[in-house]
Structures are given as structure tokens and as C-alpha cells.
């Protein structure tokens, strides 16, 4: 058994049973390809690599053979590798991913030129209707060339190629990170929520006391971030509204930040055409009645008068077709009763409830009202279960 098999599916099964051809071209970003191959395998994929001559001068084919467990294609032979992998044949590839893709390779694909193993694979994929994704990487002056930009647009519009846009920094159009690339690959092959517009509201709100102090809670926002990511890879058009969170909001998912519950009410005013909203956010139930503009002195005892904050989910419920709300209570019994009450009152379509005692940074146990059962596992497992319920609707 090749060592790569020990990694297969270790992080998930989103690409289980999928055959991905990775095309590597002559950008310095090719040095990240070994890690990319392994990340694809950890999601269950079978990966085969094809390289241009210039790519093999940057990363040795042996490195990618070690990473993938499969022989690397550096030239086309009598085995007609481009046809056996990407022609109209049994067991053809599910996706052709070119990462990194140089200006030269992008322009050749746009014009139907196939004078390298990678571009020949691309031409074959177009003819056999295999989905193709490219990850541009080049110097910014090359990326800004109007013909290169036109060719990028052409492969998207005419050939229906997915382009994972580069990061423009330090004078370069840098290749997207491996996490974004893998998410995009999964999304390309997953259509559970395709065409649906989903809003995820996550993180904790921060209600001011004075110019320095805040009222907040212990929530991390990780459940919501995982929910947004899972909805994205299932093909949904996702937007994230996030308060204070522990962890990075994926920059490839459109997002806006908020601090107070009042901010959310303001943001909600312009909300239109949302199929579903999912609200794992931990929002304050109370705010200070009189907020001080200056920092309150700590030299004397302080008495704060709190007043209830309006319930944001009730406002959001008026705006969306399906609302999935979250509810936390001290015990599982109380959590289940609270979920059932919210459904009876028509305040949400699905309620995900949990006991505060079950929550950790990475694991949880929740009651999903539409399933009428408890689900236990990682944040990812729970997000998957909730989104499956949304899909059923």
C-alpha cells in the first residue's frame, strides 16, 4: 500500500470516489502542489498529476508521485494519457484542476492550442465535458495584460471554466490558498444547494457599556463559520454576517461584520431574495439602558440597568423563506422544550438546540427539531446534518 492511502479521507469524504487530474504549470506557486495533492486526498480524492516541462523544473515529478501515489505524466506517449483519463471513456476524470495556471497556459486554452501535456488534457476535457477549474498565478504586470484578462474571461464564458481568482499583493497575482482551492473543487462537484441564496449569521454580539467596556458571551462562532463553508461547498450562494469570532472568516465567501444587535437590524433592512437564513449567532439578550460616552471610573461601585434587546430572528423571519434558528439552554431537556416552543410559535422553520454543558470548541450535541432527534459530532458533522435538513425543504 502506498503511504498516501493512509491519509485518504482523514479529514472528510467530500471527494470520496472522485478522480481529479491536477495540471501543474511553470509558476513558482507550483511549490505548493505537494500539499495541495495531499489535501485533496485527505478529502477522499484519487489524484493524478500532469506537468508541463517548465513545471518539472520547479517541482520534481517524483515529489508529486510521492504525494499522489500515482505515476506523474510529463509527456504524452502511446498510452494516450489525455484520452485514457479525460476522453469519453469509462472511469474518466470528474475534474481537471490546473493549479497553478500561468498566463501562457490560460491563453493557450482560450485559443484551443494544446502543445503541452497540460493544454492537451484541457482540450480533451472541453471536448468530453469534464469540469475544469484553473488557479491563475503570475506577476501582476502579466495579469494586468488586457489580452490575458480577455482570455481569462473567454475561458469562463465560452468554455465554462471556473476561475479561482488570485490574490493581488506584493506586485504579484498570487495563487489562491490550498484551502480555497479544495473548497472550490468540492463545490464544483456538489450541487445539493446550487442556485440557493443562503445567509449565515454567526459570532457573538458586543453591546457597549461605555467607551471601553462591553457585554458579550463565550461563544466562538465556529459553528457558523463551518456552516457557511459547508453551504458554500454544496453550491449555495452564501453570505456571512459575523460578529466577534474565533477564527478566520473564509475570504472567498462574501461577508459583512457587525458589533451590536442594532447593527443587524440595520443590515436586515436591505436584505432581499434570500432562500434561507441560518443563525448560530450568540446575540445579546440585554443591553445597557444608558451607554456612557466616556470610560466609567473603576474607583467606585457601579450599578448597571439593563433592558431587553429586540429579538433579531423575529425580524429576520419576516424576510426569508426558511429560517433555521439556534437555541441554547442549561440542560438537554430545557433545550428540546425551547426548540419545540419556537416551532409552535412560528418563530423559525427549524430549530437547532443544545445544552450549554455539551458545547466544546470542536464538538457538540444538538437537537434538530425537523429530525426530532439528537445529533452528536464535530461542528462539521452537525453543519452537514443541518444542511441536509435544509436540502430536504
Does 206 lie in the same domain as 63?
no
- Count the domains in the chain: 2
Q: Is residue 209 part of a domain?
A: yes
Per the domain annotation, does 296 fall within a domain?
A: no
**How high does pLDDT run on average in the chain?**
95
pLDDT score at 375: 95
Other Cβ atoms within 10 Å of 18 Cβ, number: 21
Q: Give me the pLDDT at residue 134, please.
A: 98
Are 40 and 177 contained in the same domain?
Answer: yes
Q: Average of pLDDT values for 174-199?
A: 96
Each residue of 38-82: pLDDT tens digit? 999 999 999 999 999 999 999 999 999 999 999 999 999 999 999
Q: Do 201 and 173 belong to one domain?
A: no
> Are 198 and 255 contacting, i.e. CB atoms less than 8 angstroms apart?
no
Maximum pairwise Cα distance, the chain: 86
Q: How many angstroms separate the CA atoms of 388 and 393, rounded?
A: 9
CA distance 300 to 2: 69
Of 188, 222, 247, which residue is a domain's last?
188
Given this model, what pLDDT does residue 365 score?
93
Residue 119 belongs to some domain of the structure: yes
Residue 152 and residue 220 in one domain: no
Q: For the whole model, what pTM was predicted?
A: 0.93
User: Is residue 264 domain-shared with residue 382, that is, in the same domain?
Assistant: yes
At 388 the pLDDT is 95
> Does 170 share its domain with 227?
no
DSSP states of 77-119: -TT-HHHHHHSSSTT--SEEEEEEE-HHHHHHHHHT---SHHH
What are the Cα distances from residue 383, in Å, to 53, 227, 232, 368, 391? 43, 5, 12, 11, 12
Contact 364, 296 (CB under 8 A): no
CATH number for the domain spanning 68: value is 3.40.50.1950
Q: Are residues 80 and 128 in the same domain?
A: yes
The SS3 assignment for 44 reads coil
The reply to whether 251 and 183 lie within a common domain is no
User: What pLDDT does residue 247 have?
Assistant: 87
| Contact indicator for 279, 324 with CB cutoff of 8 Å | yes
Among 154, 188, 222, give the residue marking a domain's end: 188
Give the burial class of 77: count Cβ atoms within 10 A of its Cβ; 0-12 exposed, 13-18 middle, 19 or more buried: exposed
Number of H helices, E strands in the chain: 14, 20
Which residue pairs, CB below 8 angstroms and at least 24 apart, start in 181-184? 181/36, 181/97, 181/99, 181/133, 181/135, 182/36, 182/39, 182/40, 182/43, 183/229, 183/232, 183/233, 183/250, 183/252, 184/133, 184/252
**So what's the pLDDT on residue 363?**
85
- Within this chain, do residues 228 and 133 fall inside the same structural domain, yes or no? no
pLDDT at 361 over 80: no
Angle at 90 between CA 86 and CA 95, to 5 degrees: 40
Considering 146, 170, 188, which residue would you say is the last residue of a domain? 188
Tens digits of per-residue pLDDT, 83-115? 999 999 999 999 999 999 999 999 999 999 999
Predicted local distance difference test score (pLDDT) of residue 349: 97
pLDDT at 185: 98
Range of the domain at 356: 197-291+302-392
Whether residues 317 and 358 fall in one domain:
yes
Q: Does residue 297 belong to any structural domain of this protein?
A: no
Banded model confidence at residue 344, pLDDT cuts 50, 70, 90: very high
Mean pLDDT of 169-176: 94
- Both 181 and 235 in one domain: the answer is no
Question: Is 223 in a helix, a strand, or coil?
Answer: helix
List pLDDT tens digits, range 213-231.
999 998 999 999 999 999 9
Return the CATH number at 340.
3.40.50.10300
The H-assigned helical ranges of 91-246 are 103-111, 117-128, 140-143, 146-157, 178-188, 222-233
Amino acid at each position: 500500500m502506498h503511504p498516501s492511502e493512509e491519509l485518504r479521507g482523514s479529514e472528510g469524504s467530500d471527494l470520496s470516489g472522485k478522480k481529479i487530474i491536477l495540471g501543474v504549470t511553470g509558476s513558482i506557486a507550483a511549490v505548493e502542489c505537494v500539499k495541495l495533492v495531499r489535501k485533496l486526498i485527505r478529502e477522499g480524492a484519487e489524484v493524478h498529476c500532469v506537468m508541463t516541462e517548465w513545471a518539472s523544473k520547479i517541482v520534481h515529478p517524483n515529489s508529486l508521485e510521492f504525494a499522489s501515489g500515482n505515476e506523474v505524466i510529463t509527456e504524452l506517449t502511446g498510452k494516450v494519457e489525455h484520452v485514457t483519463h479525460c476522453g469519453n471513456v469509462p472511469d474518466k476524470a470528474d475534474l481537471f484542476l490546473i493549479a497553478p495556471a500561468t498566463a501562457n497556459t490560460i491563453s493557450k486554452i482560450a485559443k484551443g492550442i494544446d502543445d503541452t501535456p497540460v493544454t492537451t488534457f484541457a482540450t480533451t476535457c472541453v471536448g468530453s465535458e469534464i469540469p475544469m477549474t484553473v488557479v491563475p498565478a503570475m506577476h501582476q504586470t502579466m495579469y494586468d495584460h488586457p489580452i490575458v484578462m480577455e482570455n481569462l474571461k473567454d475561458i469562463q464564458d465560452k468554455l465554462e471554466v471556473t476561475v479561482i481568482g488570485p490574490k493581488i499583493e506584493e506586485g504579484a497575482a498570487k495563487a489562491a490558498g490550498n484551502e480555497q482551492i479544495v473548497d472550490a473543487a468540492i463545490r464544483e462537484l456538489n450541487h445539493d444547494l446550487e442556485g440557493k441564496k443562503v445567509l449565515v449569521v454567526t459570532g457573538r454580539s458586543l453591546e457597549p457599556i461605555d467607551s471601553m467596556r462591553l457585554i458579550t458571551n463565550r461563544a466562538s462562532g465556529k459553528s457558523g463559520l463551518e456552516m457557511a463553508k459547508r453551504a458554500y461547498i454544496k453550491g449555495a450562494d452564501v453570505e456571512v454576517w459575523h460578529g466577534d469570532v474565533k477564527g478566520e472568516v473564509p475570504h472567498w465567501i462574501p461577508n459583512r461584520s457587525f458589533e451590536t444587535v442594532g447593527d443587524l437590524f440595520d443590515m436586515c433592512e436591505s436584505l432581499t431574495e434570500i432562500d434561507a437564513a441560518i443563525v448560530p449567532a450568540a446575540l445579546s439578550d440585554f443591553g445597557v439602558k444608558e451607554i456612557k460616552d466616556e470610560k466609567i471610573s473603576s474607583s467606585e461601585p457601579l450599578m448597571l440597568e439593563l433592558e431587553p434587546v429586540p429579538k433579531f430572528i423575529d425580524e429576520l423571519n419576516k424576510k426569508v423563506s426558511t429560517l433555521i434558528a439556534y437555541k441554547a439552554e442549561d440542560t438537554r431537556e430545557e433545550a428540546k422544550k425551547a426548540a419545540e416552543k419556537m416551532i409552535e410559535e412560528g418563530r423559525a422553520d427549524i430549530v437547532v438546540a443544545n445544552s450549554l454543558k455539551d458545547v466544546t470548541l470542536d464538538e457538540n450535541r444538538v437537537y434538530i427539531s425537523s429530525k426530532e432527534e439528537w445529533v452528536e459530532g464535530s461542528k462539521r458533522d452537525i453543519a452537514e446534518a443541518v444542511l441536509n435538513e435544509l436540502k430536504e425543504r
